[in-house]
Structure 1
Amino acid sequence: MTRPPFTAALLHPRYWPMWIGLGLLWLIVQLPYRLLLVLGHVVGWFMYLFMAERREIARINLALCFPEWSEDRRQRVLRENFTSNGIALFEMAMAWWWPRRRLAKLARVDGVEHLREAAAAGRGVVLMSAHFTTLEIGAALLGQQATIDGMYRAHRNAAFDYVQRRGRERHNADAVAVERDDVRSMLKSLRKGRAIWYAPDQDYGRKASVFVPLFGIPAATVTATATFARLGKALVVPFTQTRLPGGKGYQLTVHPPLENFPAGDEEADALRINQWVEQVILQQPEQYMWVHRRFKTRPEGEARPYPPRRRKRRRNRKRRSAE
Structure 2
Amino acid sequence: MFVDAGFTILKKKYRKQPRNTDFSAYRHPRWWPTWLGIALMWLAAQLPIRGQWWLGKMIGLLAWKLAKSRRHITEVNIRLCFPELNQQQQAALVRNSFIANGIGLMEIGIAWFRDPAKLNSITRVHGLEHYHKALEAGQGVLLLGGHYSTLDLGGSLVTEHIEADVMQRDHNNPLMNAVMTRARGRRYGNVLGSKDLRGLFRSLKKNRAVWYATDQDYGRKDIVFAPFFGIPTGTITATSRIVERSGCKVVPFSHFRRDDQPGYDIYFQPALEDFPSGDDLQDATRINAAIEQEVRKAPDQYLWMHRRFKTRPDHDDPGFYGRKKQDKG
TM-score by length of 1: 0.90
Aligned to 2:258: 244
Aligned with residue 63 of structure 1, among 79, 84, 95 = 79
Q: More displaced, 224-233 or 78-87?
A: 224-233
Aligned with residue 303 of structure 1, among 318, 321, 327 = 318
Q: Which runs of 4+ in 1 moved over 6 A?
A: none
AA in 2 matched with 1:183: L
Whether 2:263 is the aligned partner of 1:269: answer: no
Aligned to 1:128: 144
Whether 2:182 is the aligned partner of 1:180: answer: no
Is the CA contact (8 Å cut-off) linking 1:237 and 1:257 kept in structure 2?
Answer: yes
Consecutive unaligned residues in structure 2, runs of 5 or more: 1-18
Larger of the two Rg values belongs to structure: 1
Alpha-carbon distance, 1:151 to partner: 1.2
Across the aligned residues of Structure 1 and Structure 2, the Cα RMSD in angstroms comes to 1.8
Q: 1:159 to 1:106 in 2, by over 3 A?
A: farther
Give the distance between the partners of 2:313 and 2:135, measured in 1 at CA: 40
Alpha-carbon distance, 1:84 to partner: 0.2
Is the CA contact (8 Å cut-off) linking 1:37 and 1:247 kept in structure 2?
Answer: no
Alpha-carbon distance, 1:268 to partner: 0.4
Look up the SS of the partner of 1:38 in the other structure: helix
Consecutive unaligned residues in structure 1, runs of 5 or more: 313-323
Aligned to 2:14: none
Aligned with residue 115 of structure 1, among 128, 131, 139 = 131
Is the CA contact (8 Å cut-off) linking 2:110 and 2:116 kept in structure 1?
Answer: no
Alpha-carbon distance, 1:40 to partner: 1.0
Deviations 1:37-72 (A, max 9, x none): 111111111010111110000000111112222000
Whether 2:58 is the aligned partner of 1:42: answer: yes
AA in 1 matched with 2:239: T
Alpha-carbon distance, 1:308 to partner: 4.6
Alpha-carbon distance, 1:262 to partner: 1.1
Give the distance between the partners of 1:31 and 1:79, measured in 2 at CA: 24
Is the CA contact (8 Å cut-off) linking 1:169 and 1:177 kept in structure 2?
Answer: yes
Look up the SS of the partner of 2:83 in the other structure: coil
Look up the SS of the partner of 1:127 in the other structure: strand
Look up the SS of the partner of 2:176 in the other structure: helix
Aligned to 2:245: 231
Aligned with residue 81 of structure 1, among 85, 97, 107 = 97
Alpha-carbon distance, 1:225 to partner: 1.7
Give the distance between the partners of 1:155 and 1:168, measured in 2 at CA: 13
Give the distance between the partners of 1:118 and 1:281, measured in 2 at CA: 22
Is the CA contact (8 Å cut-off) linking 2:21 and 2:181 kept in structure 1?
Answer: no
Length, aligned pairs only: 306
Alpha-carbon distance, 1:284 to partner: 1.2
Is the CA contact (8 Å cut-off) linking 2:139 and 2:205 kept in structure 1?
Answer: yes
Is the CA contact (8 Å cut-off) linking 2:23 and 2:178 kept in structure 1?
Answer: no
Q: More displaced, 249-258 or 117-126?
A: 117-126
